[in-house]
Amino acid sequence: MIIKTAAVYFDGESSTPQNVELFLDKNKEIFYFETQKNDWINWGIKESDFKQKSDSFIIQNKEDVSKSIIIKDSLFINNLKAYLKETGNVSWHQKLINLGFKVHSVIAITILGFIGLSYLYIMPYIAEKAVVLVPESYDTNLGNLVSKQSLMTNTVDSVKSEKLNQFAKELKLNNNKNLHFTVVNSDIVNAYALPNGDIVVFSGILDAMKDYDELVALIGHEVSHVNNRDSMKMLCRNLSGYLFVSAILGDTNGIMAIIGDNANTLQSLSFSRKFEHQADIEGFQILITNHVNPKGMSNLFKRLQEDKSDFSIPEFLSSHPITTERINDVEKMIQSKSFSVNDNPKLKTLFEEIKQ
């Protein structure tokens, strides 16, 4: 069966359109027409691309896309579309166009939703996993740099720092890095761990403590963050948009460069609930291993929560969000786990000296 219509042909050599009579031979699956130069041209259906543009239908030659035919006959267009559909010659692009506005809207919303979920969950997850590409020696170099910069603007209490290091040496901390503790004289209630094993404790949080078991709980918690490289993971999560491509490509140098440029944020990172929960579990285990009363952890958390006011939230709570759920989890561990508590006069004495 042969059908025909008036069409406009562009030969790719001149911008001048040629009015032609276009024939479609459905049995032979070809288009054919005569040009103004009286040349007959045949295009196979499978050698052609089809596009709908407003009320026009465009046929392009796959071998030379500069050559095209434009049809405006709606009856011919509908007949051609039906024929292409019947013979399976509709491209995926045209199939997508033919789905209609409602389906297009659903697809668009789905794509936007996937992009949003990727940004919120997938990209941070991949960026966090990118930490394994960074050698741990880089943690040490980065931590040393940040420690030096941060302590330049704070007053270090060398006597209390020495006592705190002695206190920590009495504990089994399961640390995989050398630890160094520094006490900073400040009313700020805060403590933070750097990736190199430096742990900075502000006198404000020491003043809030009532017993040495609370200090062991704080140290155990911070050491767990160091052991698990949590500060590096959170930094990578926060920079996930930049790190995503580098992680996919396995570009270690690119990852380290981005982290290095943002190292100054390490002190103010807010750990995720997952990291805090894991640090609580491991910190709790440190208390039990050292036969220190694990109630020190729940007492410390409760005290920090009670001490916050509507006008001043301790910085420790900003970087280590303490929720009722976390306190309840610690108390459940106290009730469910077996442990023995031995009084430790040396820790008690050192704690009292640190508090002076």
Digitized pLDDT (tens) for each residue of the chain, 356 residues in all: 899 999 999 998 888 899 999 999 998 999 999 998 899 999 998 888 888 888 899 999 888 888 999 999 999 999 988 888 888 776 666 666 666 677 768 877 887 777 667 656 666 666 666 677 778 887 888 888 888 887 888 899 999 999 999 999 999 998 988 999 999 999 888 888 888 999 999 999 999 999 999 999 999 999 999 998 888 887 776 666 555 555 555 555 655 555 555 544 444 455 677 888 899 999 999 999 999 999 999 999 888 877 554 333 344 444 555 668 888 999 999 999 999 999 999 999 999 999 98
Q: What's the order of all strands across the beta sheet hosting 198-202?
A: 180-184, 198-202, 191-193
**Residue among 301, 267, 290, 285 nearest 334 (CA):** 285
According to the model, what pLDDT value does residue 72 have?
94
Cβ-in-10-Å burial (0-12, 13-18, 19+) of 90 comes to middle
According to the model, what pLDDT value does residue 23 have?
95
**Residue among 233, 221, 212, 327 nearest 281 (CA):** 221
According to the model, what pLDDT value does residue 283 have?
94
CA distance 100 to 103: 6
According to the model, what pLDDT value does residue 118 have?
61
Give yes or no for a contact between 8 and 20, defined as CB atoms under 8 angstroms apart: yes
Phi and psi at 51, nearest 5°, equal: -140, 140
According to the model, what pLDDT value does residue 6 have?
95
Name beta bridge partners: 68: 10, 60
Measured at the CA of 27, the angle between CA 21 and CA 28, to 5 degrees, comes to 70
Q: Please tell me the pTM assigned to this model.
A: 0.61
SS3 content of the chain, % helix, strand, coil (to 5): 55, 15, 30
Residues of the chain with CATH 2.30.29.30: 2-91
According to the model, what pLDDT value does residue 348 have?
96
Buried b (16+ CB within 10 A) or exposed e, 274-303: ebbebbbebbbbbbbebebbbbbbbbbbbe
How many angstroms separate the first and last alpha carbons of the chain?
103
According to the model, what pLDDT value does residue 121 have?
64
CA distance 41 to 68: 12
Q: Which fold has domain 2-91?
A: PH-domain like (2.30.29)
